[in-house]
Amino acid sequence: MSAFKEEDRTSSGFYVTKEAPIEPSNPIPTPKAEAPDILRCAYMELVVTDLAASREFYVDILGLTVTEEDDERIYLRSLEEFIHHNLVLTKGPVAAVAAFSYRVRSNEELDKAVAFYEELGCRVERKKDGFVKGIGDSVRVVDPLGFPYEFFYETEHVERLAWRYDLYTPGALVRLDHFNQMTPDVPRAVRHLQDLGFRVTEDIQDKEGTVYAAWMRRKPTVHDTATTGGDGPRMHHVAFSTHEKHNILAICDKLGALRRSDAIERGPGRHGVSNAFYLYLRDPDGHRVEIYTQDYYTGDPDNPVVTWDVHDNQRRDWWGNPVVPSWYTEGSLVLDLDGNPQEVIARTDASEMAKTIGADGFSYTRDGDETKGFKLGNQL
């Protein structure tokens, strides 16, 4: 059943509906237990193999603020943050993600999280003193999709440095914006995350009903996390916000000056999905970091859900610039609660890359013209 009805089509070429038209064929059961009330994505714990190299990347180049550090971990935050950190770099043998951490409304929500995941049969751990510094009572789980999720409310308050313009760099990062997760079965993941309280804001589908990716939010931006179809569970990227577009360009300029432009994987560009301005970098371990700015308010319950045709050449880049294959295929391992990498399951649904690039794929710029509409950039 096609998600695309002519009456839902906007003058911008995508489709809007009142609710996400996504149905999983093999759903994870919806728990009877109430989901915890998640405020927002709060921090990611990244395992890195060379702490000094990662510090150089995140502190010296990207300008994140060190809240605290020791020989094993560096705790970093963005300029407008008042909780202890938005990123933890943990030294380890294999580059991976140890936790996607969400802040909840209160400690009571942690009880709900425990019940929610126990009902789902997931492994659940709770630590009154937190798994990392600066965070109190917390719950970590391996969720039904295989991702290490954390929930917490208690945190040490640190100074919000928003007014400290003497500390700003030209590419100043001001907020953690979102996570992005690679998972083989997007509809299954979306339904589960809806059960956890997330709302879909945008997605990419085809006329046959295959869902390639979906964006979901708790705070009223386009997303706190997204699911990208691909071999998984893996982490696709973690995203920080700047105030303006020139801040993102300044990061590119600085990487050029440092002769590290090969850290730029894709962009900068304007997303179709989210309408945000973006840049994708790869850190010294290959972890993907997005720099992102200016999406839109999504907080109303009837916020229109945007669905993009996978063949729309402007869905991933509004300017039609090509997506590099690595962006589709590469991602970071995620760890279980013992620190072992989760097994990666291959996607069996159609691949967005195969559908849109190469011998069998196609993309259109304008409605109807499948040949003429090819972006010139695709010639490469």
The residue (of 231 and 253) whose beta carbon lies closer to its own copies is: 253
Helix (H, G, I), strand (E, B) or coil at 165: helix
Cα gap 324→314, rounded to integer Å: 14
Q: Which residues contact 359 (CB under 8 A, 6 or more apart)?
A: none
Name the minimum Å distance from CB 6 to its own copies: 15
Neighbours of 52 (CB within 10 A): 11
Q: Is the dihedral of CA 224, 54, 174, 275 positive or negative?
A: negative
The residue (of 81 and 185) whose beta carbon lies closer to its own copies is: 81
Q: How far is the CA of 351 from the CAs of 60, 193, 331, 365, in angstroms?
A: 37, 22, 15, 20
In sequence order, the β-bridge partners of residue 293 are 277
Name the minimum Å distance from CB 254 to its own copies: 5
The residue (of 100 and 152) whose beta carbon lies closer to its own copies is: 152
Name the minimum Å distance from CB 10 to its own copies: 6
Name the minimum Å distance from CB 46 to its own copies: 19
Name the minimum Å distance from CB 372 to its own copies: 8
- The tokens for 351 are 């691949």
Q: How far is the CA of 361 from the CAs of 47, 351, 352, in angstroms?
A: 36, 10, 9
The residue (of 185 and 290) whose beta carbon lies closer to its own copies is: 290
The residue (of 11 and 26) whose beta carbon lies closer to its own copies is: 11
The residue (of 121 and 299) whose beta carbon lies closer to its own copies is: 299
Name the minimum Å distance from CB 126 to its own copies: 21
Q: Are 37 and 105 in contact (CB under 8 A)?
A: yes
- The tokens for 64 are 């994140």
CA angle 331, 332, 335 (to 5 degrees): 145
Q: Are 135 and 155 in contact (CB under 8 A)?
A: yes
Name the minimum Å distance from CB 45 to its own copies: 20
Cα gap 19→13, rounded to integer Å: 18
The residue (of 128 and 164) whose beta carbon lies closer to its own copies is: 164
